[in-house]
Amino acid sequence: MKNKLGITLVFTSILLGACGQNEAKPVDESLETKSLTTEQQNEEAIITDGNSVDERLQEVTEDTICEFCNMKVYEPTHELGAFTAQGIKEDGSTLFFDDVGCILNQERVDGIEFEKFVRDNNSKDWLKLDNAIIVKADIKTPMNYGYAFFKDQGSADSFIKENEGSKVVTISEIDDVSKVRYDTHMEKMKNSDSSETMEMDMDAENSDSNSSSHGHTDSSSHNH
């Protein structure tokens, strides 16, 4: 009887030990933290990818000239380098502009639309114009358009607080301003061409008149 009782106790102990092994182990909080951190990093990577640098983008050199106005395009280390714009054409080639209005006017000249990039005012990193927060302010820019660009609202708000009278605007406002300049420029060019044509016509008339005068004199001398 004692033997049977002893066997029963041993068997019960084995079962209890096995059950203890199957109990859920305490969760390692550090592992949970690591897992969350990884997820956050992935989310941040997705957000960053939305404004990631396009591999097709090029960088300005000291000899770069604006495609539209032929003025100097400033490097990012220069105080005016924050206002440089870059356009990517369908064939992947890039064009540089010293100020944002020039890229919009070049589109008018070419009759096409570029993928447009501007610099974040703080980091000087490239970002898509469509994604940028645009602030109009009383600031000096290469062609005096006065627009600064930001990749986030907080940076734009800080800039606005530091620059009295500045405000957030849209791309369409820049387009309206640049179009007025473009139309004015084209009108001046048209008037200039007309003036040159008139001067050429007057020169031609004077030349014809002088030729006739010389011919008449020669004829008279011959008759005498």
| DSSP letter for each residue of 14-82 | HHHHHHHHHSPPPP-HHHHHHHHHHHHHHHHHHHHHHTPPPTT-----TT-B-TTT-PBPPPTTSTTGG
- Name the least confident of 7-11, 26-30, 193-197: 7-11
Is the model's pLDDT at 66 over the cut of 80?
Answer: yes
Q: Would you put residue 111 in left (φ > 0), alpha (ψ -120 to 50) or beta?
A: left
Asked whether residue 191 is domain-assigned, the answer is yes
Note whether 126 and 59 are within 8 A (CB): no
pLDDT at 32 over 60: no
Let me know: does 169 contact 147? Beta carbons within 8 Å: yes
Q: Residue 34: what pLDDT?
A: 42
Residue 11: CA atoms inside 13 Å, Cβ hemisphere, count? 6
* 213 within domain boundaries: no
81 in a structural domain: yes
Q: Which residues pair with 96 in a beta bridge?
A: 86
Q: What b/e sequence results for 59-82 when a residue is b if at least 16 CB atoms lie within 10 Å of its CB, and e otherwise?
A: ebeeebebbbbeebbbeeebeebb
Determine the structural domain holding residue 151 and report its residue range. Answer: 53-198
Instruction: Out of 8-22, 98-112, 184-198, 200-214, pick the least confident.
Output: 8-22
**Average confidence score pLDDT of the chain:** 79
Q: What is the mean pLDDT of residues 64-74?
A: 98
CA dist 222 and 177 (Å) reads 68
Q: Are 94 and 112 in contact (CB under 8 A)?
A: no
Residue 10 pLDDT level (bands cut at 50, 70, 90): very low
* Cα distances (Å, whole numbers) of residue 183 to 70, 169, 223: 18, 22, 60
Query: Is the residue at 57 inside a domain?
Result: yes
33 is a domain residue: no
Residue 22 clears pLDDT 70, i.e. is over it: no
Q: Find tokens 């084995």 and name the residue.
A: 14
Encode pLDDT of 170-198 as tens digits.
999 999 999 999 999 899 988 887 666 55
Angstrom distance (rounded) from CA 89 to CA 69: 18
Total structural domains within the chain:
1
User: CB–CB of 16/89 below 8 Å?
Assistant: no
- The residue among 110, 118, 61 whose CA lies nearest residue 87 is 118
Q: Is 61 helix (H, G, I), strand (E, B) or coil?
A: coil
- Residue owning tokens 């820019």: 141
Between 136 and 45, where is the model more confident? 136
Q: Within 13 Å and on the Cβ side, how many CA atoms surround 111?
A: 0
pLDDT at 9: 46
Whether 97 and 83 have beta carbons less than 8 Å apart is answered as: no
> Does some domain include residue 204?
no
Percent of the chain with pLDDT over 90: 58
In this structure, of 165-169, 203-207, 210-214, the range with the lowest mean pLDDT score is: 210-214
Q: Is the pLDDT of residue 102 over 90?
A: yes
| 8 in a structural domain | no
pLDDT (tens digit per residue) in 128-158: 999 999 999 999 999 999 999 999 999 999 9
Residue 28 resides in a domain: no
Q: Check whether 33 has a pLDDT greater than 50.
A: no
Q: Determine the average pLDDT of the residues in 109-133.
A: 97
